[in-house]
Amino acid sequence: DTAVSQTPKYLVTQMGNDKSIKCEQNLGHDTMYWYKQDSKKFLKIMFSYNNKELIINETVPNRFSPKSPDKAHLNLHINSLELGDSAVYFCASSQELHRVYGYTFGSGTRLTVV
């Protein structure tokens, strides 16, 4: 009954590889997000999708490509991984049309590029 689930939880890969992180929410929310938490633990938004449409793209390198096949799923594909991509990536969801509700976050994916 996990509300926002991400897979995998840990990902270790070599520089130059391509990898994907998947996210699913069962809350019926219409908006999903990807956040990046850097080594200093600061959380910053990367992307947001509302009903499968991209609404936020915070100047993230185009090696990062989000895809939302439906409003319950938001996947993140990363091409040509670099050392600086090592971070914890969090997926989140919210109900945009009813802003009285807050955000629900997944448990994170710790990406390590070696």
Partner 1 sequence: KQEVTQIPAALSVPEGENLVLNCSFTDSAIYNLQWFRQDPGKGLTSLLLIQSSQREQTSGRLNASLDKSSGRSTLYIAASQPGDSATYLCAVSSGMNTGFQKLVFGTGTRLLVSP
CA distance 52 to 94: 13
Q: Which residue matches tokens 């609404």?
A: 55
Cβ neighbours, 10 Å, residue 17: 12
Taking the least distance from each CB to partner 1, the nearer of 82 and 103 is: 103
Considering the rule CB under 8 A, would residue 100 count as an interface residue with partner 1? yes
CA distance 80 to 74: 20
Binding footprint of partner 1, residue count (CB under 8 A) = 27
* Contact pick of 42, 62, 70, 83 for partner 1 (by CB under 8 A): 42
| Contact footprint for partner 1 (CB under 8 A) | 31, 33, 35, 41-45, 48, 50, 55-56, 90, 92, 94, 96, 99-108, 110
